[in-house]
Every structure is written in structure tokens, then in C-alpha cells.
Structure 1
Amino acid sequence: MTRIRRDPRAERAAIRIAAGLRPRYDRTAIGVAKAAGGRPRRDPRTERTGQRVPGGDRPRFDLGQIARGEAPVLAESRQRPAQAAAPKIVIVEAPAFLVAVVPDAAGGRLSAHDRQVLGAARALAGREGAVALVSTGPCEGAGPAGADRHLALDEAGADPDVRAVRVAAALEELAPRHVLFPESLDGGDLARRVAVRMGANLFDNAEVVAPGGLIRPARGRRVEQRAAPGLLASVAADAIADYAGPPREARPLMVEAAPPAPRPSAIVSAERIPADPATVPLALAEFVTSAGNGLHDLDTFRRLVAALNATPGASRVLCDAGLMPRHAQVGASGTVLAATCYFALGISGAPQHLQGVAGCEHVVAVNTDLHAAMIERAGLAIVQDAQRVMPALLRLLAWDTEARDAQEAGERS
């Protein structure tokens, strides 16, 4: 089979425009050249025009799409990668044993520490076992975090003794091989109360959790203590990775535990009193709202922070200018946050500032620059002037407060 020989002169004559004395050629008319065996010619200007995003004075382009003219280019011959299939839910029908996890789950949501404990439980369960999440009240995200079973107990309020009694009774009915707690303020206290009620030893503050054994530091971290996995253990924070596999079933469990006999308690009443967000340190704050160089009305910003019940923060530019106190600075040179939500108003996102919010679970940003680093980091972004967004948020919050007060007044009447 012989290849057809190209005729460059005929191709050039076919695209010549018969106008004027000077020879001109239509480079986009490639149909004749293709018929003659030539390679299709790209038109970069047409592709660039198709990529342009309408709106705005500054030209912006969507590089994810390639606009083509009448003729195909070389990129069309490439095969597109197949879309990733939705992850399948792993189901364990008859596990050989259970590994129970008792999370803090404040507000019905798993914390970062709780997910790390579930990751440790998956290491103990392996392929034959299953992980059972035992929470007091409802809990979201149990399946994606690695739980095969979910037992939701009745809410016990703020009394730690009542919660310990209910958790111990549920664990006796489940009969798990191992039980893991987060080594936190609430989780560590609950673990010790449950250990006393069940009469079992507790291996606390474990930093390595594996079927072969548990490891924790001792004597000022100069030595390591090792032990075989027992019944009860607590896991240190930021020591074990989260579960990164496909989502699990989190099948609901129903356990009919007999109510334990009441014991005399020295606790007369228990009530959880939240800390004042205006005075809580940034490192301990759950919701932080920060102002950047894009704000000039700080009085409105302070009213918005109070209405959101958030902790105020700021970028380094405002702190250097003396407009915000130094202890409110967020970033690598200020305070590194571990908040659940971070709300950035008028902050472009310098590298040092992004290091300070790397540990935040949710980031919301308001900025006029679509390509700002903070906009790219945010899970929810508002491309608008923060000076216009703040009054709108205050109006919505005031309307919501009035509607709630009217509803409560109607219920009382």
C-alpha cells in the first residue's frame, strides 16, 4: 500500500484568496488541505475565544475546556479517561468480633480526634472484625469514617456518671473484643469511669494501635510502654491517621440493655456552660471570623462577629497597622488554628496565613478576586466585596432572630 503524495502547491493554491495584488491565504480553510492529505491546522485564536469567560472588565479564561473550530485537532484523537465509579459501600454481614468506639461526637458530629480513633479501630478489626460506633445521641458520618455498625444511645445530658452507666451497660451487651476512646477532656474522663464500672484495666494515651500491640510514651517521652491490646484503651490525638478506605455500612444496632441499678453520686447537677467566644483563645476556638486588608469598617465587622457568636481574628496586615490586637493574628507568625469553621473576610491568603488555617475543617471566604489563594482554599467562596456582604449578613441574622422570637412567643401563648 503506497502513501498518497502531497502536493504543497495545489494545497496553497486552494486556500489563496483572490483579492488584491498581494497574495493572501485563508489559513482556516483546511477542508481542501485535508482532502489533499494534509494535516489539519489549528486556529489558536478561535480556541482562545471559546475559552473566555463572559463578564468582567478583566479577561478571564477557562483553561479546562478547549474550543475548536470546524476541523478536529490532534487532542481529539486522545481517549478521555473513564469517570471514576462511585465507591461501593463495604458490608460485613457476620463479623468474627467487634471493636467498639465511643466518640465524643459533640453536637452530633464526629471530631477529627474521633475519626482518628475510628482509624485505629479499623486497624484492630482487620478483615474479620467489624467496628461498632457507640454514641450517646445521633451521630453523622459514621459510615464514611469507617464504622460497620452504629449504636445510638439515648442522650445522657451533661452528667458524666449517667453517660458512663449507659455506655458500660451497652458495652456489656455488645461484648466487643476491644473498646477505644479518644484521649480528650470528655473522652478520657468517660474512659476512666467506664473502666471502674466494668472492673477492667485501661491502657490510656496510646500513640500506636495495631493487632500486635499498643505503644504509649512514658517518663517524659524517654521510654515507650508496650502492651497487648486489651479490652479498654484510649487513643492520643494526632497520632493515628483517619480511615481512608471506601465507606462502610454503619448498620444501626438495637441493644436492649437492662437499666443499671442507681448508685449514689456526689454530682447534684451537671450543666455544660459554653465559653465566651470573645475571650476564648484562638487556638481553642471552634468558630473564627477574621478581617483582612479588604475591610475598612471594623465596627461593622465587630457587630457581625458578635451576631455570629464567633471568635474575632485578623490578618497580619491589620495587626501590624494596630487596627486589631496582636493576639488576634492568624497565621504561621501568629496563631495556628484548629477550628471547625473559619470565616475570612477580605483576606487574599498569604502563604503564612494559609499555614495558620490548614487545620480548619471548613473554610468560608469572601473576596473580590476570583483567583485569590484564600478563595481556592475555601470550601465555600463568595466573590464579592466584604463591605457589602457584612451588612447583608447582619440583616439576615436580625431577621432570623426576630422570626425565632416570634415563634417562641406564639408557642408560649
Structure 2
Amino acid sequence: MSRPRRDPRAERAASLVVGEGPRPRYDRTRRATASGRPRRDPRAERAAQRIGDGARARYDLSQIGRPVGEAVTAVPRAAPAAEAPKTIIVETPAFLVAVVPDGPGGRLSGHDRQVIGAARALAGREGAVAVIVEGECEGLGAAGADRMLRLERAEGYDPAARAARIEAALAGLGARHVLFPESLDGGDLARRVAVGLNEALFTNAEVVAAKGLVRPARGRRVEQSLAPPRLATVAPDAVADYAGPPREARALPYEGSALETPKHIVSATRLPADPATVPLALAEFVVSAGNGLSDLDTFRQVVSALHATPGASRVLCDAGLMPRHTQVGASGTVLAATCYFALGISGAPQHLQGVAGCEHVVAVNTDLHAAMIERAGLAVVQDAQAVMPALLRLLAEEAAGSGKAS
């Protein structure tokens, strides 16, 4: 063999220090024969991570992996710049899918956003979604609209005239599919438009895809499917919202003139229901009390001043401080409110399930890390007992100011 023979005795003798007695030699500067890495010195590393005279340790994650003895200096890190989401623009779509939302108060409802999401499923990559609105309406691009056709808002309640305007707009738009929300106003409008255009209407669709639409029938014992028709209504909470990048929502010109239609309804007035008696499942604005509240009389004053529907957590209902029908949560009532105002509620998992469908959540709690504070879009880290009187004073001042102005 050409490899030299090892001599273990000579190697051990070379590793001993000659002195008073044989003792092993520890050389920290010698490199390992196998890997060539320098031997670590934990004492030197700990000393380099101390500040000043060694009274305080320096914690800097950026220094991990530096060589031993190198000076440890804090390097300022620049915050990463948040990139604005890129707006998707469809210049020449192959076809259009029209959506006629309810748009209450000049804003899209949760059901309207679901209908636009269903239209996006029908449009795919080649088509575009065109939303027909009356007057101003915000948030169309974020909801998934590529085009926007604005009509003049008619005065008063005249569903026949509104259906006539929508029919004229659809005639000029040339959309392949038209979707409506299956709601009180949207369902009525869809049926009027279907009669005016003399076309079939596929109602209450729960599955919307490019291959076809599906709806339940015969007491939900069977399902009916059909290739995407021209007119259809989408059931609430059946299709997910559009969750992609914002769209252009380019305004389309409308050259139609105001149609003169006979008005059969002389007068119509919408009477709002008493918020105190509205069921929680149908309430639009709910103010709830939690275990962090002790002054329920002031809480009831806040609910009355805000014209909201009262709610409560399970703890208060179990204690008999609030009626059982006011309990919010998975074991109580699941809400679909536009705004939910939580006072002194920490946010148990069952309670968070009950407010998952709320569009806006406002929370007041002393715990910064409470689950309800994390869920809220607007949070006030303060004692609810101190916030309620301040809120009542502000509401009284606003009411007094509006009274003087009028």
C-alpha cells in the first residue's frame, strides 16, 4: 500500500504538553484536519455581544453568523416599501357580462359583491364585467368591475321606469349574460326586465360557472342545471366575492335618453322598522355588550342614541342580565349586519363566528391583544365604561348642532 501507516502512540504523545506531568494540549487556534473550520470560542462570542462593560447583552439578529471577535454594530433596516396592487385593464374584451346591483345608498352591498364575483366566473379571462348603476356608486373596481355604465337616478319609487331604463341600457350594451341579485328589489327588477325583453329568467342560482348554473328545486331534494342563460339571479351567500387585484371600472358612455313611462304608483314611502324590535339576523346595525360592561342602563342609552339593535355576549345572557334572544354567536344568532359595535367583548371563538358575516366591526376593549380587537376594522383600546358617556355627549352635541342648523 502507498498510504503511510498511522502511529497512534506517536499522535497521542504529540498532543501532550511536556511539564510537570503529561496533560493534553488544547489549541483553539489550530484548524481541524478534516473540515478546516476554526474552532468556536463561546466566551469570545458572548463577550462580543455585550454592550459597554458587559452589563447588558446586545440582541441583534443581523449579527448571526459573523466571525468571532468582529465588532457588533446595529445596522438600521429600511422598512420594505409596500407596492400598490396593479390594476388589471381589459382593453378589448371578447364579450361582456352585465351586473345590475341594488347599490343601496350609493355603495355595494355584500350580496352585490357576490353577484359581481359570479359575473367574474362567467367572464373568465376573455370577457369583461360591466356594472350598470344608477347615480354614484363606490368600490366598483375593487369588487371586480371592468366597465361601469352610470344611469340617472330617478326620483321616488318607480320600479317600472327603472326596468325600462335597464332594458334600454342592455340593448345598447349587448351583454352576453346579465346577472341580478336575488333580493327584494333585485329579484323584482329581474322579473320585470325578463318580461320586458321577452326572455327566460334563471332564478336563485347557487352555483355559477362558465359551464353552467345550478339551483335547488323541489324543496332542495334535487338540483337543476342549465347552460349559462342571458338573464339570471344569484342567491345570497352562494358565490364568493371577487378577491383578485382591482379592476379598471372604466366608465362607458351612455347616449340613451330619459324614457317617458306612465307612472302607476302615485306615492311610495319606505317605513323603517324599529331597531329595538328587529330580529338580530335581519338587523343592519348591532351594538353588543360584553362582560366588560357593568352599567347596562348607559348601554341601553347608547343603543337608543345610535338607533341600533341591542346584542350581548353569552356571558351576560347566561347571567340573566340580557335577554336570550340578544345573544350573538354560533350558539346564539349569526349576524349579517353592515356594522357591529362591540363594547367590552373580548371575542370568544363562538362569538367571532357569529360576526364573521358583518361588513364593518368596531370594538372597544382594554386588552390590546383581545381577539375582538384583532377582528375589528376600527378598535378603541379603552374602558367601555368611560367610552359610553363620551359617546353620548358627542351624539348630543351633534344633535344640538343639527337642530340649530335647521
Partners of 2:132 and 2:293 lie apart in 1 by: 46
Q: Distance in 1 between matches of 2:56 and 2:160?
A: 73
Letter in 1 for 2:236: A
In 2, the alpha carbon distance for the partners of 1:46 and 1:188 equals 68
Code of the aligned partner of 2:133 = S
Q: Which runs of 5+ in 2 are unaligned?
A: 1-30, 67-73
Q: Kindly provide the CA deviation profile for residues 48-101 of structure 1, in whole angstroms up to 9, marking residues without a partner as x.
A: xxxxxxxxxxxxxxxxxxx539x8234999x99976632211111122221110
The 8 Å contact of residues 150 and 254 in structure 2, kept in 1 or not, is answered as: no
1:137 aligns with 2:149: no
1:68 aligns with 2:68: no
- Counterparts of 1:81 and 1:370, CA distance in 2: 24
Aligned to 1:361: 359
Q: 1:346-385 to 2 correspondence within 5 Å?
A: 346-385=344-383
Tell me whether 1:118 sits opposite 2:116 in the alignment. yes
Equivalent residue, structure 2, for 1:193: 192
When residues 7 and 122 of structure 1 are mapped into structure 2, their CA distance, relative to the original with a 3 A threshold, is closer
**Does residue 166 of structure 1 match 2:159?**
no
- Contact kept? 1:158, 1:272, Cα under 8 Å: no
Flag the structure with larger Rg. 2
The 1-side partners of 2:160 and 2:56 are apart by 73
Match of 1:23 in 2: none
Is the deviation greater in 192-201 or in 252-261?
Answer: 252-261
Which moved further from structure 2: 392-401 or 205-214? 205-214
Q: Which moved more, 1:81-90 or 1:272-281?
A: 81-90
| Residues 376, 5 of structure 1: alpha-carbon distance in 2 compared, 3 angstrom cutoff | closer
3-state DSSP of counterpart to 1:225: strand
Q: For 2:170 and 2:132, how far apart are their aligned partners in 1?
A: 8
Aligned equivalent of 1:21: none
CA-to-aligned-CA distance 1:349-387 (integer Å, 9 cap, x gap): 122211111111111111111121211211111111101
> Is contact 2:145–2:248 with CA below 8 Å preserved after alignment?
yes
Q: Is the 8 A contact 1:206 1:214 kept in 2?
A: yes
- TM-score w.r.t. structure 2 length? 0.82
**Inter-partner Cα distance in structure 2 for 1:45 and 1:249:** 55
User: What is the rounded CA distance, in whole Å, between the counterparts of 1:377 and 1:30 in structure 2?
Assistant: 40
Match 1:301 to one of 299, 318, 329:
299
| Deviation of 1:404 (Å) | 1.6
The Cα shift of 1:44 comes to 12
Whole-angstrom CA distance in 1 between matches of 2:221 and 2:55: 65
Task: Give secondary structure in 2 for the equivalent of 1:349.
Answer: coil
Q: Residue 225 of structure 1: CA displacement?
A: 1.7
Letter in 2 for 1:229: P
Match in the other structure for 1:315 = 313
Residues in 1 aligned to 2:252 and 2:216: alpha-carbon distance in whole angstroms: 36
Change (3 A) 1:44 1:161: farther
Q: Distance in 1 between matches of 2:55 and 2:225?
A: 65
State how far apart, in whole Å, the 2-side matches of 1:203 and 1:257 are. 27
Matched AA of 2:115: V
Match of 1:402 in 2: 400
TM-score (norm 1): 0.81
Instruction: Give matches, 1:142-161, under 5 Å.
Output: 142-156=140-154, 157-161=156-160
Which one-letter code corresponds to 2:132 in the other structure?
V
Change in CA separation of 1:46 and 1:335 when aligned onto 2, cut-off 3 Å = farther
Match of 1:327 in 2: 325
Q: Residues 342 and 362 of structure 2 are in contact (CA less than 8 Å); yes or no, is this contact kept in structure 1?
A: yes
Q: Equivalents in 2 of 1:198, 1:261: separation in Å?
A: 18
The one-letter code sitting in structure 2 at the alignment partner of 1:366 is V
Do 1:159 and 1:271's aligned partners in 2 also have CA atoms closer than 8 Å? Answer: no
Contact 2:93–2:126, Cα closer than 8 Å, also in 1: yes
1:344 aligned partner: 342
1:291 equivalent to 2:289? Answer yes
How far apart are 1:106 and its partner, in Å? 1.1
C-alpha RMSD of matched pairs (Å): 2.8
Residue 207 of structure 2 corresponds to 208
Partner Cα separation in structure 2 for residue 387 and residue 281 of structure 1: 26
2:179–2:234 contact (8 Å) kept in structure 1:
yes
User: Which SS does the other structure have where 1:152 is aligned?
Assistant: strand
Aligned residue pairs: how many? Answer: 361
Q: What percent identity do the matched residue pairs reach?
A: 70
Residue matched to 1:103: 101
1:248-290 residue CA offsets vs partner (Å, 9 max, x unmatched):
000112212133342352x221222222111100000011000
User: What corresponds to 2:3 in structure 1?
Assistant: none
Give the superposition deviation at 1:210: 2.1
Aligned to 1:282: 280
Distance 1:392 1:7 in 2: 62
**Which amino acid in 1 is paired with 2:257?**
A
Say whether the 8 Å CA contact 1:169–1:258 is kept in structure 2: no
CA contact (8 A) 1:289 1:344 kept: yes
C-alpha contact (below 8 Å) 1:99/1:125 kept by paired residues: yes
Match for residue 272 of structure 1?
Answer: 270
SS in 2 for 1:376: helix
Q: Is the 8 A contact 1:109 1:141 kept in 2?
A: yes
